[in-house]
Amino acid sequence: MAHGKVYIFWPTPARSPKLAHMKQVATHIYALATLFLLGMPAWASDWPQFLGPNRSGIAPEISMGDAPTLEPQWEQNVGLGYSGVAVVSDRAYTMGHDGSKTETVFALNAKTGDIIWSHAYTADLIAKYHKGGPNATPTVAGDRLYVVGKDGQLLCLNTRDGSVVWQISLTKDVDIPLPAWGFASSPLLRDERLYMNAGHPFALNAADGTRVWTTSTPFVAGYSTAVLMQQEEVPVMLSLFGNQVGVLRASDGELLASQPIKASWKVSAATPIVLDAAKGHFYVATSKVGRAVRFDGTALTTLWETRAMKNNMNTCVLIDGHLYGVDGKHGSKGGEITCINAVDGSLQWSEPLRAYGSLVATSTHLLVLSEKGELVIANVDPTAFTPRLRRNILDGTCWTPLSLANNCLYARNELGRVICLSLAQKIP
């Protein structure tokens, strides 16, 4: 093992009991190696999956001052789509579509933007009231890269060269109906399994893509990414669907509890946020309402609701008992950068944003990207909005949340323009 990578090889297909046994042993070794790697701390400044190292939207290892240079490092075009940028060590991964018939996974040099390798395959654009192209952000673990295309092609690629380890179709192999706006849930890797929320939540074996379970309860398809919460030593899967909040047992997908929630056009895309795992508290939001709920092992109870933090597509961040995010919905005249108390939902402050947007954070700063490409940087402060910088950094429509890694900011627009800007402090 070197630099957090594990290489496992076996001959296929297995034509003898001995070779079959070798493959089985290798699979177990890979599973144990994955568990080991997931237990290791990530590189100090990695952003290996959707919403960062802890799926919290926070880059805790990045120390950023009030006056970052935002000096351009590089830019690259990866095609249409909304896939975020996952960064591990010196590589950045994302996806795009050529607007015709081809979807592509890219591995870029995180320092220069040069294409190290790309893997292309035939895929539908699914441009419904938007430009189309992949929605999900890649997930990186060791030498494996997990990606989900717009039409449900799920691939496991080798991070070294982009070679296919395994590939399945969610619609054909897992029997998941295609959502109206395509698949958007980013793969969640935990304990040898990949979890996804796609109307019919499911879990797959991460080593070979075989199905572990698919929930028997049909839901209106949502576009939210799944979250696991440890509930009395039993992990549960938190899912936000088109018109319901659901809690499923992670081991077998059994629905443990659900409650209805209102969302415009029955479209929910924000990811649930664990507020207090010990108490079973978590937060969900749609374009209509924000809600804190409690799961007691058998039922969901609403703790409080608010209209001060409605999230159409973006996800809030939780810092020191407060939720920071963008209230509003895409295509509106504007949103509000907002802070609420996570205990009771009370509004702490709200600041107009000239367009809807998404928010990520370091331990000291909030970074907001509006859908029109304006970057706003402000202090993490529950008492007042304290802006430090406003600057247009991208053109076109920007629905993809920022990624923070290598002391840099990675951003993209729907046309596929990816940029990398330095977060280094300006020298007086």
Please write the tens of the pLDDT for every residue from 35-67: 333 333 334 589 999 999 999 999 988 888 888
In three-state form (DSSP H/G/I as H, E/B as E, the rest C), the secondary structure along 240-267 is: ECCCEEEEEECCCCCEEEEEECCCHHHC
Please tell me the predicted confidence (pLDDT) of residue 107: 98
Please tell me the predicted confidence (pLDDT) of residue 428: 62
Average pLDDT, the chain: 89
Please tell me the predicted confidence (pLDDT) of residue 15: 37
Please tell me the predicted confidence (pLDDT) of residue 199: 72
Contacts of 187 (CB under 8 A, 6+ apart): 49, 136, 138, 139, 146, 147, 148, 154, 194, 195, 196
Shortest CA distance to 357 belongs to which of 290, 312, 317, 389?
312
* pLDDT less than 70: residues of the chain: 1-44, 427-428
Please tell me the predicted confidence (pLDDT) of residue 129: 82
Please tell me the predicted confidence (pLDDT) of residue 233: 81
On the 0-12 / 13-18 / 19+ scale of CB atoms within 10 A, 363 is middle
Q: How many CB atoms lie within 10 A of CB 139?
A: 24
Shortest CA distance to 154 belongs to which of 94, 102, 209, 101?
209
Please tell me the predicted confidence (pLDDT) of residue 427: 66
Contacts of 190 (CB under 8 A, 6+ apart): 38, 228, 235, 250
User: Does the pTM exceed 0.95?
Assistant: no
pLDDT digits (tens, 9 = 90+) for 326-377: 998 877 777 999 999 999 999 999 999 989 999 999 999 999 999 999 999 9
Please tell me the predicted confidence (pLDDT) of residue 11: 31
Please tell me the predicted confidence (pLDDT) of residue 281: 98
Beta carbons of 104 and 426 less than 8 angstroms apart? no
Please tell me the predicted confidence (pLDDT) of residue 330: 79
Contacts of 11 (CB under 8 A, 6+ apart): 19, 22, 23
